[in-house]
Amino acid sequence: EEAYKNMWQKVRAMWVYVYVNYYDSYDWFHIGGDDMYVLVENLRLYLESEEIATASNGGKQPLLLGQIFYQNFYSSATYVTGGGGYTLNKAALKMLVATFPNC
């Protein structure tokens, strides 16, 4: 069904597809809406920076880059908003997809 209420299932299916088909081909993966812009060269330079290399332990540590949303009115849950997009390294993508059977 094409509806906003099942957005999570669509995003989950997209990440599984990316993992199965592209995991070995790329170091970073980005998702975002059709109404956002990415300056790819700027993102690439940032992902190659010493700051990111250190934070991700050379890519071995899962790293997610995006805007954290704190949902205080319903629960203490936090999540990354999809509107502005977010970026995962390989370790984070692997960890994310591994949790899906439990979601």
- Separation between Cα atoms, residue 4 and residue 17, nearest integer Å: 20
Residues 97 and 16: beta-carbon distance below 8 Å: yes
pLDDT at site 1 = 64
pLDDT per residue as tens digits for the range 77-103: 777 777 789 999 999 999 999 998 876
Q: Which helix (H) or strand (E) holds 61?
A: none
pLDDT per residue as tens digits for the range 9-65: 889 999 999 999 999 999 999 998 888 899 999 999 999 999 999 999 999 999 999
Task: Report CA-CA distances (Å) from 100 to 8, 9, 23, 48.
Answer: 11, 10, 16, 29
pLDDT at site 70 = 76
pLDDT at site 30 = 95
Give the start-to-end residue ranges of the domains of the chain.
Answer: 4-102
pLDDT at site 78 = 74
